[in-house]
Amino acid sequence: MVNSPSEEKKLGVIGAGAWGTAFSIHLARKGNRILLWVYEKELFEILRDFKENRLYLPGFVLPHEIEYTHDLEMVAEFSQDIVIATPSYALRNTIEKIAPFLKDKRILILTKGIEIDTLRLMNQVVAHTVGSDRFISVLSGPSFAKEVARGQFTSVVVASKDKDLSKYIQGLIHSDTFRVYTSEDIIGVELGGAMKNVMAIGAGIIEGLELGTNTKAAFITRALAEIKRLGKALGAKDNTFMGLSGVGDLVLTSYGSLSRNRKFGLELAKGRKSKEIIDSQNAVVEGYFTIKAAYIMSKRTSIDMPITEELYKIVYEDKDIRESISDITNRGLKEEDE
């Protein structure tokens, strides 16, 4: 059995983007002491001087329970439990630097994505890097950073192969405004969180082209079916995708005005090139990276993922968007469960 989280904890948060910062605020509200690892020197100085993340989460003064550091080893030494909130592409390189310090730490992963080179999910990347999956859990669900930072009601799911660990994390982070459910389907919970970023780009394209709500509803429904097909092939439970990390997160990210992936799709619909959009962004658009990984995965496993394939061609091969839409809508007749 893992220990009770009822007493004050020393928690390390690795990654000071919008989500890592908002989650640190949430943890501090629960009376924990937080040490937040900051990658950028400029951001570290801003946080030190103004107690506000003016680059990624402006408008929120961080409570005194949150301190900041450049030193990864200091985070590992300080913390009883570790929260990881780096971009997916930076996860492995970041964790490798402190892997020996993490073997006996409880780890909660907020990062959503699929590693392009290995096609591993984030929990698998951390387990491979640390050398054990014993204390690893993941969090997913419809949770915009700004709304969590404001203390607006949010509901998420925590998954781990170890039920006791999931319950421990649940107790650690649950509050009246942040409801936490548990799951043992770590693959399904992670995959739903990663793939909704891909599909939200398509939803943004549809909105940007003013194709209508019928089209968007049909798209989201078929996008969910595509995610479920991939999940089934990877061993996920089908009903996981009908929960918070599946349809819940997909709806939020596809319709929510705070969604970076949806905004990326809106910009694509204006005719801008994907690389130009990415280079102009301050925050990470995770779907941009996940599209490539998911496309490669679908080809290697022979899973039919037409939406992912067309989005990959739009984003990485500059395929004409309306041609992609035509190729999708003119596919052969099928049964709905195909």
The CATH number given to whatever domain includes residue 117 is 3.40.50.720
Domain end point (choices 184, 213, 236)? 184
Does 89 lie in the same domain as 174? yes
Residue 337 domain flag: no
Handedness of CA 203, 205, 210, 212 (dihedral sign): negative
Residue 173 domain flag: yes
Does 75 lie in the same domain as 30? yes
Does 164 lie in the same domain as 201? no
Residue 127 domain flag: yes
The total of structural domains in the chain comes to 2
Q: Which of 63-67, 100-104, 281-285 has the highest mean pLDDT?
A: 63-67
CATH classification of the domain holding 195: 1.10.1040.10
Residue 227 has pLDDT above 50, yes or no: yes
Question: DSSP readout, 303-336?
Answer: ---HHHHHHHHHHHH---HHHHHHHHHTSPP--T
What would the pLDDT profile of 249-272 be if each residue is shown by its tens digit? 999 999 999 999 999 999 999 999
Report the candidate in 122, 119, 102, 103 with the shortest Cα–Cα distance to residue 111: 122
Average pLDDT over residues 72-81: 95
Q: Residue 300: is it exposed, middle or buried by C-beta count within 10 angstroms (0-12/13-18/19+)? A: exposed
The length of the chain is 338
Does 136 lie in the same domain as 71? yes
Residue 335 domain flag: no
Reported as type and span, the H/E element at residue 84 is strand 81-84
Average pLDDT over residues 144-168: 98
| pLDDT score for 146 | 98
> What residue numbers bound the domain in which 170 lies?
10-184
Domain end point (choices 184, 213, 240)? 184
Which residues are the active-site residues? Answer: 196
Predicted TM-score of the model (pTM): 0.95
Does 156 lie in the same domain as 206? no
Residue type present at position 325: I
| pLDDT score for 102 | 94
Does 285 lie in the same domain as 254? yes
Domain end point (choices 151, 166, 184)? 184
Residue 64 domain flag: yes
What would the pLDDT profile of 177-214 be if each residue is shown by its tens digit? 999 999 999 999 999 999 999 999 999 999 999 999 99
